[in-house]
Structures are given as C-alpha cells and as structure tokens.
Amino acid sequence: MNDSKERSPYRVIEEQRRTIEPLANSSLMRSLANSTEEQVASAQLKEEMQQTIAYLREQCSIMTSCRQNNALVDRLLVRIDNNPIDTS
C-alpha cells in the first residue's frame, strides 16, 4: 500500500522516458507541425517584406534623383530663357 501511495500513476521511469515516441497524429505532433509551418511561413513573409522594402527604397532613391535632375534641368532652362543665345 505504501508503494502505491508514493508512486504516481503518471510517473515515468528513466527507461520508459528513453523509449517513448510521439504518436504521429497526436495533438502535440499536430501542434508542433503547425508551429513549424507557421515559423516557415513567417520567415518567408519576413524575407518578402525585406525584399519589398529594399525595392521601395531603391525606387525612392531613383525618384529622388530624378526630381533633383528635373529641378536642375528646370533651372538650366530658366537660365537659357533669360539669356537667349544670339544667333545673328
């Protein structure tokens, strides 16, 4: 009697611990699989977002350069308009 009171029915001895294998369709394994799939999907989404951000930064840089070039061209055109070349 003393032995049964001291031992929990859920206690696992070391030999059992080494041999226990998860059941393929157990809720724990499904949860782990879902967690792994979510981590992979999350990593892929993060990578896609980083690529999108890099692309948008590049486009913004190009647009900024274009605006600066356009402003320079506008200033040059104003100078040309204000100082016509004498072709006579």
Distance CA(88)–CA(85), nearest Å, equals 9
Distance CA(7)–CA(3), nearest Å, equals 6
Those residues of the chain that have pLDDT short of 50 are: 1
Residue in the structure block whose two tokens are 């990593």: 43
Q: Is the pTM of this model over 0.95?
A: no
Side-chain half-sphere of 25: how many Cα atoms within 13 Å?
0
- pLDDT for 62 equals 92
- pLDDT for 65 equals 92
Residue 7 has phi, psi (to 5 degrees) of -90, 130
- pLDDT for 1 equals 47
